């Protein structure tokens, strides 16, 4: 007798479901998977830094320097990858994501970062004020048989539009106050001295990449931008345009 109300409840829910879904399944509300019909997809791919650029990595997989600038203290930072509506190719050297007027926002559909600014010394595992915006953790580049540096990436939960352009850049001189992508005045705060910050990415690097890409950075060249027509397209992108060096 006690089960009758539960049965009625189940039938009611099942009936409600039928009103929303042509494929009537009276037990669908019990299913752990439910397709909301949203245009949100996950993709995976690889990003490659060609051996010809002379990049190398330390024992932790972080990009540390390039042969072309070995004598300087050039800092190679986070690598940014994003999907955009297209690129502006009017610049003779390299393509840049298209941006809207006034707001100058590129409105990326999705994106990700390889590497984080947390000023952690990989040897000690401790935060170091000397490394604020000067060292990137959580990069794990590996050299392939040709000496190219390769890293996997995932871009999650973004709306896919056929024809979207995949574009990437590696920031250099990340602590440059003019166009570095690391903010010296934000990020983790030292628990013993709250005036010390350990740095973090600016939040709009993919929204306004034109404000961050500058000489010394490495970006996707004209021939290497990937236009994604379908979700089955491979996403193996190369960034080989070293601005001011070979680009």
Max CA pair span of the chain? 84
Stretch that binds other proteins, among 1-9, 100-108, 115-123, 229-237 (CB under 8 A): 100-108
Number of residues that bind other proteins (CB under 8 A): 24
203 touching other proteins, by CB under 8 A: yes
Minimum distance of other proteins from residue 187's CB (angstroms): 9
Region 136-165 residues binding other proteins, contact defined as CB under 8 A: 159, 161-164
Provide the token pair at 233. 């397209």
Q: What is the 3-state secondary structure (H, E, C) of the chain?
A: CCHHHHHHHHHHHHHHHHHHCCCCCCCHHHCCCCCCCCCCEEEEEEEEECHHHCEEECCCCCEEEEHHHCCCCCCEEEEEEEEECCEECCCCCCCEECCCCCCCCCCCCEEEEECEECCECCCCCCECHHHCCCCEECCCCEECCCCCEEEEEEEEEECCCCCEEEEEEEEECCCCCCCCCEECCCECEECCEEEEECEEECCCCCCCHHHCCCCCCEECCCCCCEEECCCCCCCEEECCEECCCCC
101 touching other proteins, by CB under 8 A: yes
Among 1, 38, 92, 102, binds other proteins (CB under 8 A): 102
Region 61-90 residues binding other proteins, contact defined as CB under 8 A: 85-86
Stretch that binds other proteins, among 2-10, 15-23, 103-111, 131-139 (CB under 8 A): 103-111
Among 90, 185, 194, 230, binds other proteins (CB under 8 A): 185
Among 44, 103, 129, 246, binds other proteins (CB under 8 A): 103
Region 9-38 residues binding other proteins, contact defined as CB under 8 A: none
Stretch that binds other proteins, among 11-19, 69-77, 112-120, 178-186 (CB under 8 A): 178-186
Minimum distance of other proteins from residue 1's CB (angstroms): 19
**Chain contacts with other proteins (rule: CB under 8 A):** 85-86, 98, 100-103, 105, 107, 109, 159, 161-164, 177, 183-186, 200, 202-204
């Amino acid at each position: 007798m006690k089960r009758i109300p539960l049965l009625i409840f189940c039938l009611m829910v099942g009936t409600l479901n039928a009103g929303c879904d042509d494929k009537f399944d009276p037990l669908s509300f019990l299913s752990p998977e439910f397709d909301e019909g949203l245009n949100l997809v996950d993709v995976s791919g690889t990003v490659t830094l060609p051996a010809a650029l002379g990049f190398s990595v330390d024992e932790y997989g972080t990009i540390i320097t390039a042969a072309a600038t070995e004598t300087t203290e050039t800092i190679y930072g986070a690598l940014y990858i994003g999907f955009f509506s297209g690129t502006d190719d009017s610049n003779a050297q390299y393509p840049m994501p298209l941006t809207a007027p006034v707001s100058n926002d590129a409105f990326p559909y999705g994106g990700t970062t390889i590497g984080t600014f947390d000023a952690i010394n990989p040897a000690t595992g401790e935060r170091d004020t000397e490394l604020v915006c000067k060292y990137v953790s959580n990069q794990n580049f590996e050299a392939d048989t040709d000496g190219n540096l390769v890293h996997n990436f995932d871009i999650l939960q973004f709306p896919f539009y056929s024809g979207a352009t995949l574009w990437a850049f590696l920031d250099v001189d990340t602590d440059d106050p003019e166009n570095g992508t690391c903010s010296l005045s934000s990020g983790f705060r030292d628990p013993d001295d709250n005036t010390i910050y350990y740095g973090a990415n600016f939040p709009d690097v993919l929204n306004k990449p034109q404000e961050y890409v500058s000489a010394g950075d490495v970006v996707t060249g004209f021939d290497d931008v990937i236009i994604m027509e379908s979700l089955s397209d491979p996403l193996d992108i190369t960034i080989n345009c070293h601005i001011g060096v070979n680009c």
